[in-house]
Amino acid sequence: MAKRRAQRTEPTTGEPERVTVVVCRGGDCGSRRKHPGVDHTAQLQALRSRIDGADVVPSKCLDACERSNVVVVMPGDAGAEAGATPVWIGEVLDDAVTDDIVEWVNAGGPGVAAPPALVEIQEFRPTRQSRQELQPGHALP
């Protein structure tokens, strides 16, 4: 018997899906012990206050602790239609990388705007386990 594929449900609001920025804050990400010179709270606040038209969501853990701090930029509808997939960025530990992420997301993010140099340099391919951590239920309030 053939398996039925789950159909993608469209948003009920009729609005296009926005870019989502997932900021890891579990494990080593957000750890003052591992990264004492980084103001993790200010970094999250900067992403939330400076990014327009995207959702910024902290995550319990993305299981990529060796790359901490990890930020994942998930494409919105426009980027997904262009074939974009989530972009995993590791070692987001200074203002320059945070600034590049903000500018890129504000320009449309994956599939819409070309990633800046620091994003390209620090992008990595996550493990299957790490990718599963992006599933619903792993976000913090």
Q: Rounded to two decimals, what is the model's pTM?
A: 0.83
Q: What is the largest CA-CA distance in the chain?
A: 57
Which residue ranges make up each domain of the chain? 19-132
Contact yes or no for 71/22 (Cβ under 8 A): yes
d(CA 44, CA 52): 14
CATH code of the domain made up of 19-132: 3.40.30.10
- Tell me what percent of the residues of the chain surpass a pLDDT of 90: 59
pLDDT tens digit at each of 141 positions of the chain: 444 433 344 444 566 689 999 999 887 787 778 888 889 999 999 999 999 989 999 988 898 989 999 999 999 999 999 999 999 999 999 999 999 999 999 999 999 999 999 999 999 999 888 887 776 555 544
